[in-house]
Amino acid sequence: MPFTRVTVSPSQMGGVPCIRGLRIPVATVVGMVADGMATAEILRAFPDLEAEDVREALRYASEAVRERELPLVRGA
């Protein structure tokens, strides 16, 4: 799946994946969703974003964790 709204540039934000060349990291957007913020709240916080940016950030994060195993603490 191609990502048209997520950009990575070594000269911007140290190569951190961002939304459409803006200095808004994908991780920031995904973190806001994880904290329970609705898309409308995120768009108010970052007026340069669009609803599709939030959706693509989530898709990108989903693909990123699918590609590797993350260390998890096992439950008792």
What is the residue whose two structure tokens read 């898309």? 39
CA distance 5 to 36: 22
Domain ranges of the chain: 6-65
The highest-level CATH class for domain 6-65 is mainly alpha
Q: What's 74's DSSP letter?
A: P
Q: Give the pLDDT confidence of 52-75 residue by residue, as tens digits.
A: 999 999 999 998 888 676 666 666
Whole-model pTM?
0.85
What is the residue whose two structure tokens read 């916080």? 45
Q: What's 25's DSSP letter?
A: B
Q: Give the pLDDT confidence of 2-53 residue by residue, as tens digits.
A: 899 999 999 999 999 999 999 999 999 999 999 999 999 999 999 999 999 9
